[in-house]
Amino acid sequence: MRKKVTLKQIAKELDVSISTVSKSLRDSPEISEDTRQKVQAFAKLYNYKPNLIALSLKNKKTKTIGVIIPEIVHHFFATVISGIEHVANEHGYNVIVTLSDESFDKEVINMEMLANGSIDGFIMSLSKETQHKKDFHHITEVINQGMPVVMFDRVTNDILCDKVIIDDNLAAYEAVRDLIDKGFKKIALITTVDYVSVGKLRTDGYIKALKTNNIAVDPKLILKIEDIDICEHQIEELINTNEIDAVFAVNELFAVTAIKAAKKINLKVPEDISVIGFTDGIISKYSSPSITTVSQNGIKMGGKAAKMLIERLESEEEEDEHYKTEVIETHLVVRESTPTL
Amino acid sequence: MRKKVTLKQIAKELDVSISTVSKSLRDSPEISEDTRQKVQAFAKLYNYKPNLIALSLKNKKTKTIGVIIPEIVHHFFATVISGIEHVANEHGYNVIVTLSDESFDKEVINMEMLANGSIDGFIMSLSKETQHKKDFHHITEVINQGMPVVMFDRVTNDILCDKVIIDDNLAAYEAVRDLIDKGFKKIALITTVDYVSVGKLRTDGYIKALKTNNIAVDPKLILKIEDIDICEHQIEELINTNEIDAVFAVNELFAVTAIKAAKKINLKVPEDISVIGFTDGIISKYSSPSITTVSQNGIKMGGKAAKMLIERLESEEEEDEHYKTEVIETHLVVRESTPTL
DNA sequence: GCACCAACCGAAAACGTTTGCGTGTTGAAA
DNA sequence: TTTCAACACGCAAACGTTTTCGGTTGGTGC
């Protein structure tokens, strides 16, 4: 077992000082051609690589980005991580991923853990519980310490920082308008409870689309789901007990569950009932019929967030205080769950 | 902006030495009750938390696990990460995730990056390219430096280390036997190219099941797919040009694509043709018909891998050299794509 | 009044780097 | 022969910890 070699060991072996070794490896003009080559050859032979922890301590930079997301077994968040990771890698950064499991406490713990020197900045999406409690002290704390934070998707206006979002309201509006344009009148909405920021925005977009097209908003057609694991029964009831033309669902799972419910009572999709979902994930693509959906490019979102964070990290401490909110464009991916006209 | 406070600052402020502060905070008996309380109160007031980088440097332990996987936008790998993360967190470890994108070079780069002090040990699954090249020098290198490695799912016998796998051969065998028991004779196989270790094992299991039941292995019924993104056409052709009772697919995507192909030529699933997949992911669950599949518990796998790694890390350098291979049990999740008898 | 022992605290080393500055040697110019 | 620049290298500090060892008090026992 050959342990990693350090400057000190090289110095001892070659009978020079540590600084000489360090300078040789960094091609300092202070060092003679002779010793430089000797040191470099030796270092290469022993496969010397500087210890990143020591560098982090010295430079007060870890070249590492901390990510906190609610869940990773979730296609959208996985794509975001993928986007973050790629951009981060291109710039020589590593990525530490932690999961809040939608829990406020875990979010706080992970944040405090990472804030103690392990990372240079955060990219995060709020947990449900945090959005519910509206308690963001852990985040402001970190920002006050001078550590940049970029929020994505589930964000809040209560915090000043860079953000990357999609226009949830507009995207929902356009999706519902598309249904209206196709002649549907009785359009149901399957959404989340209101404290989930993106759910609320999409709900608002749905309502706006109906109103601007002079369609009455029927509360019976709006289903707000608290726990995604037990949504099946509620969705079936919604579809069974109402005459519905079309369904707009704020995520993939609600959409595919709606389709299953419709099939169960022998309604054909899209002939008898149309469905539009949100988030272009695996389910929408491989469901049958495949699902028309609002695409929300997670890779782009993660990439953008990483880019913003790295730019801020490397802007020489300018402390802009001028925070930006980037909006990633969305578009409707038309598939089989809506009629082709 | 209140920067993080250090021992030195507290010491200066309270006019004591750094060591006194450190000892006070760690409740050393050397320190008088008086000063201890004073220091602790002050530290609490200024929310002192020790700098983890400094601790890492001193202790030569980072309390961080490095993970290298081929892809994260992939349900199985996401569940594994989830499993790793939870167990790691329970033991006070963080998780750095890097992606190889199925590329040998990226795998090597990420590995070398993390090996330079950032982590205490690795959990990894081989990239396709690495399995193809059979070049594992980067891994042996790391192991030789005394850093423990745990491999999962895509492993190799060429490396001695702890491993977590499922019995791919047996699982495939049992799945195919199940089809045979139901009376099917013309069972097609949709698998990967042979250098993907798990693909090969599952293929072998399929063949074994046929042979032990005296069914001839028909090469025309075996489709080996290189690139998952362009598998559709090949699968359609397989199903169109052969009389097939049933399909065994080595992953979800092949399974759902097979179902789509069957529907396209008006074959009903499971009435006309049955399908069994591998990996109990989102697609299998939400496809219609939902897909009977071999469940491969990623959470358990990741959790086990993390547990093994942490145990080795904390076994006081005993250097067992006694490597274990844990086999996670699988079972068939019966759904709609196979007949209920 | 002296020795000894707690009790309490500080100095310094160590982890592995980088870097400003000081110093010694060489050679050439005066 | 003296002087001085250029060159090559080493020292030491710094990043933030923990911990060993040593030192300074004060009190107690004789």
Residues A91 and A177: their CA atoms lie apart, in Å, by: 41
Distance CA A101, CA A69 (A): 8
B60 touches strand C (CB under 7 A): yes
CA closest to C1' of C9 belongs to B20
**Selection from A313, A92, A56 nearest residue B62 by Cα:** A56
Q: Does A59 touch chain B (CB under 8 A)?
A: no
Task: Please tell me chain A's helix, strand, coil percentages from 3-state DSSP, rounded to the nearest 5.
Answer: 45, 15, 35
* Separation CA A278–CA A298 (nearest Å): 12
* Ranges of residues in chain B whose predicted pLDDT is under 50: none
Distance between CA atoms of residues B320 and B213, nearest Å: 43
Q: Burial code of B39-51, b = ≥16 C-beta within 10 A, e = fewer? A: beebbeeeebeeb
Amino acid at B158: D
- Amino acid identity, residue A340? T
CA of B19 to C1' of D23 (A): 15
The per-residue pLDDT for B311 is 95
- Is the CB of A56 less than 8 angstroms away from the CB of B52? no
pLDDT, residue A319, reads 63
User: Do residues A102 and A125 lie in contact, with contact meaning Cβ atoms separated by under 8 Å?
Assistant: no
How deeply is A226 buried, as exposed, middle or buried, from its count of CB atoms within 10 A (0-12, 13-18, 19+)? exposed
List chain A residues with pLDDT less than 50.
none
Q: How far, in Å, are B51, B118, B131, B146, B295 from residue A57 at the CA level?
A: 9, 12, 37, 23, 45
What domains, with CATH codes, occur in chain B? 7-50 (1.10.260), 62-165+298-327 (3.40.50.2300), 168-296 (3.40.50.2300)
User: CB atoms < 10 A from the CB of A162, how many?
Assistant: 24
Residue pair A163/A313 in contact (Cβ under 8 Å)? The answer is no
Cβ A287–B288 below 8 Å, yes or no? Answer: yes
**What pLDDT does A316 receive?**
59
The DSSP bridge pattern shows strands B222-225 and B187-192 to be parallel
Nucleotide nearest to B31 (CA to C1'): C8
Residue B67 near residue B122 (C-beta atoms within 8 A): yes
